[in-house]
Amino acid sequence: MSIPHLDPSANRETILEELESKGCVVIDNLIDKSTVEQIKSDMVPHLTPTPVKDEFAGRHTKRAGLLISRSPEGRELVMHPKILEITEKILSHSTNFQLHNAQVLAVGPGAELQSIHRDQWAFDFFPFPSGFETTFATMWALTDFTAENGATRLVPGSHKVNETNSEEAFKTSKRLTVNFEKETEPAEMKAGSVLLYTGALYHGAGPNSTESVRIGLTIQYTLGWLRQEENQYVGNSSEVLNELSEDLLRLMGYKGAASSLGFYDNLKDSIAVIRPDLEKEFNETLK
């Protein structure tokens, strides 16, 4: 099963049809070259090797987080209207959703295949029902993605059936990883394109057999009542927080979730701690 490609004019229904069927889709050339170059300029200087040096983290992979603080242009991608429109539908079984992480990943020459996995395993391998999506991911290409330089490898359609326990999941992961050339498809795309995929879809960073670095920006969203992968409440100065729009602050997690999660003091709006001017009744932030 191949990875579908759509042009930037594709409407929400068309994109959702591909995500429902395949669990993934590439939107080609969604952002322009100047945006790509600005985000690289903002983030590449901060790339560092991951402290945990194992096959999953990648011995030849560098990362840089704190996108909100470091890249005003990157914030625009977090809030991209087409992406949020799709995310809202994919995660519509929750009262709201939030930013899960935003991180630049650079897969260097010699990088090995990342173990094929599901992002939803971040939640302690909880056995979510089939079809119940916990996260929705985007991978923005800041360089061209090719089969040779480490393009994300995916198993289209694998989002439809979940294993019943972690032991079964590990067996599936091992089989897909060992047989990745046959079992997975590379998300090849030009810089400025974006890959969308669900949290239940099997995927992993591909091996890089070239002399160039493959750079991507992953921005993921999750249900409002789940713990975020990247802590959004630290790392941003008061100056940065004062620059941000209310919509972005709410997406970062300064809001309620479910029926009563996330309040401050006596059912107060948590945003009051950093931006008193934006405070609302707590129940209003659940929307």
62/50 Cα distance (integer angstroms)? 6
Q: Taking all residues of the chain, what is their mean pLDDT, rounded to a whole number?
A: 95
Question: For a pLDDT cut of 70, what percent of the chain falls above it?
Answer: 98
36/190 Cα distance (integer angstroms)? 11
254/270 Cα distance (integer angstroms)? 6
192/27 Cα distance (integer angstroms)? 9
What pLDDT, on the 0 to 100 scale, is given for residue 22? 98
18/13 Cα distance (integer angstroms)? 9
pLDDT over threshold 90, residue 165: no
186/281 Cα distance (integer angstroms)? 47
Kindly state the average pLDDT of the residues 48-57.
74
234-265 tens-digit pLDDT: 989 999 999 999 999 999 999 999 999 999 99
Q: What is the 3-state secondary structure (H, E, C) of the chain?
A: CCCCEECCCCCHHHHHHHHHHHCEEEECCCCCHHHHHHHHHHHHHHCEECCCCCCCCCCCEEEECCHHHHCHHHHHHHCCHHHHHHHHHHCCCCCCEEEEEEEEEEECCCCCCCCCECHHHHCCCCCCCCCCCCEEEEEEECCCECCCECCEEECCCHHHCCCCCHHHHHHHHHHHHHCHHHHCEECCECCCCEEEEECCCCEEECCECCCCCEEEEEEEEEECCCCCCCCCCCCCCHHHHHHCCHHHHHHHCCCCECCCECCECCCECHHHHCCHHHCCEHHHHHC
Q: Which residue has the tokens 């119940």?
A: 132
pLDDT band at 164 (very low <50, low <70, confident <90, very high): confident
88/207 Cα distance (integer angstroms)? 32
What pLDDT, on the 0 to 100 scale, is given for residue 117? 96
56 or 206: which leads in pLDDT: 206
204-221 tens-digit pLDDT: 999 999 999 999 999 999
User: 216 and 189 in contact (C-beta within 8 Å)?
Assistant: no
User: 264 and 273 in contact (C-beta within 8 Å)?
Assistant: yes
Structural domains present in the chain: 5-253 (2.60.120.620), 256-287 (no CATH)
User: 200 and 162 in contact (C-beta within 8 Å)?
Assistant: yes
Structure token digits, residue 118? 């599901």
- Which CA distances in Å does 54 have to 27, 57, 58, 264, 286? 31, 6, 6, 39, 39
What pLDDT, on the 0 to 100 scale, is given for residue 287? 80
Pairing label, strands 194-198, 135-141: antiparallel
pLDDT band at 36 (very low <50, low <70, confident <90, very high): very high
74/46 Cα distance (integer angstroms)? 14
pLDDT over threshold 70, residue 58: no
What pLDDT, on the 0 to 100 scale, is given for residue 18? 98
pLDDT band at 82 (very low <50, low <70, confident <90, very high): very high
pLDDT band at 114 (very low <50, low <70, confident <90, very high): very high
What pTM does this model have?
Answer: 0.96
pLDDT over threshold 90, residue 25: yes
